[in-house]
Amino acid sequence: MKASELFFPTLREVPSEAEIISHQLLLRAGFIRKTTAGVYTYLPLGYKVIKKIMNIVREEMDRAGGQEVLMPIIQPAELWKKSGRWDVYGDEMFRLVDRHNRDFALGPTHEEIITTLVDADVQSYRDLPLLIYQIQNKYRDEIRPRFGLMRGREFIMKDLYSFDPDDEGLDISYHKMYEAYNRIFQRLSLQYRVVEADSGAIGGNESHEFMVLAENGEAEIVYCDTCDYAANVEKAVCTIDDQESVQDDILQIEKIHTPGQRTIQDIVDVFGIPSRRQVKTLMYFADGELLAAVLRGDRELNEIKLKNYLGCNQLFMADQESVMAVCGAGFGSLGPVGMKVKIYVDLEVTQMKNFACGANENDYHYTNVNLGRDFAAEKIIDIRTAVVGDECPHCSGHLQSVRGIEVGHIFKLGLKYSQALEAKFIDQKGKEQLMVMGCYGIGVSRTMAAAVEQNSDANGIIWPIPIAPYHVIVVPVNAKKEDQMNTAQAVYEGLLSNGIEAIIDDRDERAGVKFKDADLIGIPVRITVGPKALEQNQVELKKRWENNIELIAVEKVISEVKAIIYGRE
């Protein structure tokens, strides 16, 4: 490709809307342009990267036994009503109405379509297992699209669905995908980590996320410093740390006057009771029912754990008025003693003795409160958010934390959709059975952003070779000098005929401009044809990720470049 003909509008300045590095660089380097919030156009360079990622994904899906299809973006409401998700999915679904006033959605995911399809056309156990996938746009009207490609409302996703006759089959399919995903992210040359995950709204039991490690990642990952346990904080299990257990004698409960003191910190400041000797009481509505969650004063509630435990659809913090009406006190004075609603107590509270909490009466607290004696729990469960330093749930190690970008997520769905959509088959005994399903997603466009997030420097992007839009850029220092241009042209054509993807920067620009652009768009190998070296019949070779420049003979360029590209790939 001639740079003079390539559409890659680079920007000198950072567009003000871009906050994180991948968004800034993809805009500046001319890979993407925003059409509207969370919706982007991929320009030639950007789309080349997307296609490379897609191809790696496709190869590995095929290798794992997947079969590629293409399902519709426009999906009829009936399917979603049948699965029960038309109402559950809520505002996140883009909805539209056709001329006959029928409801449709732009597909946010494809369980409904694929399950219906498989149900209609698969009747026998002989046809299972089936692994069906597609790479296609998904539509989710996110509450807050963000960070360019990182969280779009339209994005490119690979989604595979597995259908097996039984749980053992699902285990095999799940394992195949687990392995395939590892191969994919290794081939993409990304630093990533597989973590245990919450299965969220999609449902199901077992689930793993593939996280590309990056400071700007939206997800927090905790991992053990001794064993290989790693999990999304949303999921990370908290155990009781025996070291924390308080051995004191149980004391008499006391009510103290605490005028104007509302927060845990107030009680620390005024009474010197450390936050770990206090208990906080949070009020929530779970599908309309008010409840209290109680945990140690210095801990955070993990709403996902609570929600999963309750099995409710909606969980949100109660408002002050509702709380006042039921408890007779405001937020800062709540406590489990005398609480009139169900109390869910965090596991860790069982290790506490003689702690302080609100008295459910404004401006009063209790001290020396004890679980069991002073109040009863509806249930004692793990509902706190794991933090750095917690004991590992699998060994005696301790948890560390890093941030990551979720680029892949695999789920065991079980019977959730096959039940709702009646996806059945006839087993060997002639009996009708429900198919056991799994689903497996990779955010292709997000992966591109994640790759940039992980591979850049002050000058621009540094593409990993397997997904670089071009392998080599050939830069004649002065395109008007015939000898330089001729050599550059010869090198360029040699690369092309050897199957190497190359750009020749034939633009009548100063060398500095061409170097800046080459760095910005992140082409892995740069061949510079300049006057000094050319006298020796040499050219310069620079790897984007290194600072030094090598001089090599013109006739050796092809073999050198091949060694770099295929050596690293």
Residue 457 DSSP symbol: E
CB of 6 to RNA, least distance (A): 13
> Per CB under 7 A, which of residues 171..200 are in contact with RNA?
200
120 binds RNA (CB under 7 A): no
Q: Is 5 in the site for RNA (CB under 7 A)?
A: no
* Nearest residue (CB) to RNA, 373 versus 532: 532
In whole angstroms, the minimum distance from the beta carbon of 17 to RNA comes to 4
Q: Which stretch binds RNA (CB under 7 A): 34-42, 270-278, 336-344, 394-402?
A: 34-42
403 binds RNA (CB under 7 A): no
Site residue total, RNA (CB under 7 A): 67
| Contacts of 155 by beta carbon, 8 Å cutoff, 6+ apart | 137, 138, 140, 149, 443, 444, 445, 446
Cα–Cα distances in Å, from 361 out to 96, 267, 292? 50, 15, 16
Residue 408 binds RNA (CB under 7 A): yes
Provide the β-strand partners of residue 525: 472, 543
Do the Cβ atoms of 20 and 27 come closer than 8 Å? no
**Residue 142 C-beta: closest distance to RNA, Å:** 5
Residue 407 in the binding site for RNA (CB under 7 A)? yes
Q: Within a 10 A sphere around the Cβ of 101, how many other Cβ atoms? A: 6
351 within 8 A of 316, measured Cβ to Cβ: no
Strands 39-42 and 219-224: unpaired
Site for RNA in 468-497 (CB under 7 A): 477-478, 480
Q: Which stretch binds RNA (CB under 7 A): 62-70, 360-368, 375-383, 404-412?
A: 404-412
Q: How far apart are CA 95 and CA 47, in angstroms?
A: 27
Of 418 and 447, which has the nearer Cβ to RNA?
447
Alpha-carbon span 349 to 289, nearest angstrom: 23
Q: Are β-strands 456-457 and 230-232 bridged in parallel, bridged antiparallel, or unpaired? A: unpaired
Query: Applying CB under 7 A, which of residues 511, 558, 560, 562 lies at the interface with RNA?
Result: 511
Q: Which is nearer to RNA, 152 or 358 (CB)?
A: 152
Which one, of 106, 182, 139, lies nearest residue 39 by Cα? 139
Distance CA 387, CA 400 (A): 8
Enumerate residues 292-351 that contact RNA by CB under 7 A: 303-304
**123 or 320, CB closer to RNA?**
320
Does residue number 68 form part of the binding site for RNA (CB under 7 A)?
no
Q: Counting contacts by CB under 7 A, is residue 219 touching RNA? A: yes
In this structure, are strands 279-286 and 315-317 parallel, antiparallel, or unpaired? Answer: antiparallel
Q: Give the whole-angstrom CA distance, residue 159 versus residue 539.
A: 45
Nearer to RNA, 391 or 505 (CB): 505
CA–CA gap between residue 62 and residue 188 (Å, rounded): 17
Applying the rule CB under 7 A, the residues between 133 and 162 that interact with RNA are 140, 142-147, 150-152, 155, 157
Residue 36: exposed, middle, or buried by beta-carbon count in 10 A (0-12, 13-18, 19+)? exposed
CB nearer to RNA: give 10 or 489: 10
Task: Give me the least distance between CB of 30 and RNA, in Å please.
Answer: 10
88 binds RNA (CB under 7 A): no
Of 202 and 324, which CB lies nearer to RNA in the complex structure?
A: 202
512 contributes a contact to RNA by CB under 7 A: yes
Give, rounded to a whole angstrom, the gap between the first and last alpha carbons of the chain: 22
Q: Within 97-116, which residues bind RNA (CB under 7 A)? A: 109
Query: What is the binding site for RNA (CB under 7 A)?
Result: 10-17, 19, 28, 34, 36-38, 92, 109, 140, 142-147, 150-152, 155, 157, 200-202, 209, 218-219, 303-304, 406-409, 441-443, 445-446, 459, 477-478, 480, 510-513, 515-517, 519-520, 528, 530-534, 540, 542, 549
